[in-house]
Amino acid sequence: MKTRNKTVFYSIIHDLSSSYPISLLCKIACVSRSGYYKWLKRRNVTIVRDLRNQDIMNLIVEAYEVSNGTYGYPRVKAYILREYGWRINHKCIYHLMKQMNLQAKIRRKKQVYRKGSERMTVPNVLNRPFTASKPNEKRVTDITYLLWNNQRLYLSVIL
């Protein structure tokens, strides 16, 4: 039997307990008497827990709306801690977000550009005859960069 059905039976037993014995009502409802007393004891605790979960749900919805739906449960947890100082377990936030059908929007990955990936190729006009008959007839150049003092310096060599 599911827990929700049992809680309905327990509440009916509680309503009828002034007229009939509890052990008889538990036997008719096919629930244990100890389960009924456990429910009776924890009834107020679940009300407090439900109120706290409702407060947490409001904070989750706020964080979700602030992020335009991009925050998942870890970032929602960080947002609530940063903005309100509430320390809430990530599993609780995950469970409540799942219960409210809130899921982070998956953004497209940015394309990674590696250094030196754009290379311009020039046709080989010289065709590798490096000997020249007179000065400044043929010139060859190369560019490289050096990192110095957190800056990029370019070095160009001309032959």
pLDDT tens, position by position, 7-46? 888 989 989 888 899 899 999 999 999 999 998 888 877 7
Averaged pLDDT, 97-118: 80
Task: Examine residue 74 and state whether it is found in any structural domain, yes or no.
Answer: yes
Two tokens, residue 12: 């009916």
Give the range of the structural domain holding residue 97, as residue numbers without chain letter: 49-108
Task: Examine residue 116 and state whether it is found in any structural domain, yes or no.
Answer: no
Label residue 117 by pLDDT band (50, 70, 90).
low
Q: Phi and psi for 143 in degrees, rounded to 5?
A: -120, 135
Task: Examine residue 53 and state whether it is found in any structural domain, yes or no.
Answer: yes
Instruction: Report whether 32 contacts 26 (CB < 8 A).
Output: yes
Averaged pLDDT, 146-150: 83
Two tokens, residue 25: 């009502």
Task: Examine residue 119 and state whether it is found in any structural domain, yes or no.
Answer: no
pTM of the model: 0.50
Task: Examine residue 14 and state whether it is found in any structural domain, yes or no.
Answer: no
Task: Examine residue 117 and state whether it is found in any structural domain, yes or no.
Answer: no
Q: Which residues contact 13 (CB under 8 A, 6 or more apart)?
A: 22, 25, 26, 29, 31, 36
Percent of the chain with pLDDT over 70: 91
Distances from the Cα of 44 to the Cα of 47, 48, 51, angstroms: 5, 6, 11
Averaged pLDDT, 81-99: 93
Q: Which residues contact 91 (CB under 8 A, 6 or more apart)?
A: none
Q: Considering its fold, how many domains does the chain have in total?
A: 1
Pairing of strands 151-158, 141-148: antiparallel
> Is residue 4 pLDDT above 80, yes or no?
no
Distances from the Cα of 73 to the Cα of 65, 85, 105, angstroms: 13, 16, 12
Task: Examine residue 10 and state whether it is found in any structural domain, yes or no.
Answer: no
User: For residues 6 and 31, what is the distance between their CA atoms, to the nearest angstrom?
Assistant: 7
> Is residue 80 pLDDT above 90, yes or no?
yes
Give the model confidence (pLDDT) of 58-74 as tens digits.
Answer: 999 999 999 998 999 99
